[in-house]
Chains A and B, each alone.
Chain A
């Protein structure tokens, strides 16, 4: 293993991210290698300083500003969501009406238009082909009942 590999492990060791056996190997190496030992000490010193320096603190009022912003944003969000709902419902209704209308013009049902298949032959195959439509058959049936 190279010195660079050991030095990478120093970083892991100091972060508590190195497993036990690798840590033992590393510590054994450090007793024999002054260069890596210096890196170990330098990194330890750097970590100590970084941990105790409070860099980049926000203003004390930032949390209050955030909360106020959320209160305003919530009202705006609620309005915009209602607005979207109101706008969307008529659009979907219009699409449904158009789909039915187009289907009627094409002589197909909405199901036929959506499935891309023509269901009429399947229905008609159930009836005897004697030149009568389904409506004729139903009406005849009703007339027969009434005449009895």
Chain B
């Protein structure tokens, strides 16, 4: 398995297309977290997001022969599937008149401290509380954004994807991505300051 790590996504796709499930497994390892975050940002639910990720990879595996590397990267293609699956689930839930997004204030924000070496570990209980409150406020604010703004902002700020890539995933123009991210940031600043 160790050798797979040196291969590019495209090389893995080609090998997986010849029927090797092990190569596809490496793609799963690489992109599960990202697909989950996109699904979670849209569905707002851990369980739904996990279902979306499973369905997304299954569809990707079945349709690997339809992936065209000249049109997009594997990551972009996969996230497009994940986003469409998430939206399908949301629409399905809405049809069933189920509430998809909980605004309960007592929900766990499900935030973890970054593994980024630049981020400092809290020195004492007071600092820990302060950081938790800041992250909690961030999570709450994100949940209040419209889905498209939240997805665009998270793909940029968490995954550092280019505007072109985000536009491809969300099936919108680059200028729409600019607008979505700008409005998301303005709204976030407003919400966090409150």
CB–CB A49/B138 < 8 A? yes
Over the window 99-111 of chain B, the binary record of Cβ atoms lying under 8 Å from chain A Cβ atoms (1 yes, 0 no) is 0000000000011
CB within 8 Å of B: which A42-81 residues: 42-43, 46-47, 49-59, 62-63, 65-67, 69-71, 73-74, 77
Q: Shortest Cβ distance from A55 into chain B, in angstroms?
A: 6
Contact of A50 among B58, B112, B158, B179 (CB under 8 A): B158
B interface majority secondary structure? helix
CB–CB B36/A42 < 8 A? no
| Closest chain B residue, CB of each to CB of A14 | B185
CB–CB A56/B28 < 8 A? no
Count of CB-CB pairs between chains A and B under 8 Å: 115
Contact of B57 among A49, A54, A57, A69 (CB under 8 A): A69
Q: Is B178 an interface residue (CB 8 A)?
A: yes
Q: Shortest Cβ distance from A72 into chain B, in angstroms?
A: 9
Over the window 103-137 of chain B, the binary record of Cβ atoms lying under 8 Å from chain A Cβ atoms (1 yes, 0 no) is 00000001111111011000000000000001100
CB–CB A70/B50 < 8 A? no
Q: Is A87 an interface residue (CB 8 A)?
A: no
Chain A residues within an 8 Å CB radius of B24: 70
Contact of A58 among B49, B119, B138 (CB under 8 A): B49
CA distance A50 to B29 in the complex (A): 24
CB within 8 Å of A: which B137-174 residues: 138-139, 142, 153-154, 156-158, 160, 162-163
CB–CB B54/A55 < 8 A? no
Q: Is B83 an interface residue (CB 8 A)?
A: no
Q: Is A12 an interface residue (CB 8 A)?
A: yes
Contact of B110 among A7, A56, A69 (CB under 8 A): A56
CB–CB A43/B189 < 8 A? yes
Q: Is B86 an interface residue (CB 8 A)?
A: no
Given contacts A17-B178, A55-B142, A55-B154, contact A63 B61 (CB under 8 A): no
Contact of A11 among B36, B110, B118, B181 (CB under 8 A): B181
Q: Is B33 an interface residue (CB 8 A)?
A: yes
| Closest chain B residue, CB of each to CB of A42 | B189
Given contacts A47-B157, A53-B135, A77-B62, contact A67 B53 (CB under 8 A): no
Q: Is B188 an interface residue (CB 8 A)?
A: yes
Contact of B33 among A11, A47, A58, A74 (CB under 8 A): A58
Q: Is B32 an interface residue (CB 8 A)?
A: yes
CB–CB B115/A54 < 8 A? yes
Interface centre among B32, B46, B153, B160 (most CB of A within 10 A): B32
The 7 closest A-B pairs by CB, nearest first: A50-B157, A58-B36, A56-B40, A52-B114, A11-B182, A63-B32, A54-B112
